[in-house]
């Protein structure tokens, strides 16, 4: 009997990148992908990299180069803005559909807050 995979195959990764749910055996990988080190960079790259080749098609439009670059920027700037603005919403949703706790997004910040509070209470005591 084979053991279940803990990391996605290239085909599964492609499906995951477009919103498919991975099997339960890969939940640890999903958690690390969505809340581990570099999660924000991976998220932004997954939104931007597929769009860049489409934006480069504007360079094929006849006319001055600045016009093509201006048209590209009219699409690229809002894409980056909204992908950053909706990052936590999307990552929470991905955690939820994979059966993980959506509050994992806040775990690092909460840990930092708890550490600061403990440090304060250790130095100054409870009021």
Query: Are the CB atoms for 94 and 30 separated by under 8 Å?
Result: yes
Q: What is the pLDDT of residues 81-102, one digit of tens each?
A: 999 999 999 999 999 999 988 8
pLDDT at 105 over 90: no
What does the pLDDT read at residue 29? 93
Among the listed residues 15, 38, 4, 30, the one whose alpha carbon sits nearest the alpha carbon of residue 93 = 30
What does the pLDDT read at residue 3? 80
pTM here is 0.74
Cα separations in angstroms, 107 against 6, 7, 36, 113: 23, 23, 10, 10
What does the pLDDT read at residue 1? 62
Lowest mean pLDDT among 49-53, 90-94, 101-105: 101-105
DSSP, residue by residue, 48-64: HTTTHHHHHGGGGSSS-
Backbone angles phi, psi at 58, to 5 degrees: -65, -25
């Amino acid at each position: 009997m084979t053991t279940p995979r803990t990391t996605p195959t290239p085909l599964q990764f492609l499906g995951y990148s477009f919103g498919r749910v991975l099997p339960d055996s890969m939940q640890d990988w999903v958690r690390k992908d969505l809340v581990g080190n570099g999660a924000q960079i991976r998220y932004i790259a997954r939104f931007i990299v597929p769009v860049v080749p489409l934006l480069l098609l504007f360079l094929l439009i006849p006319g001055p180069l600045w016009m093509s670059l201006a048209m590209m920027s009219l699409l690229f700037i809002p894409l980056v803005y909204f992908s950053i603005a909706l990052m936590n919403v999307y990552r929470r949703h991905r955690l939820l559909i994979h059966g993980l706790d959506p509050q994992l997004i806040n775990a690092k910040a909460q840990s930092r807050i708890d550490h600061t509070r403990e440090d304060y209470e250790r130095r100054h005591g409870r009021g």
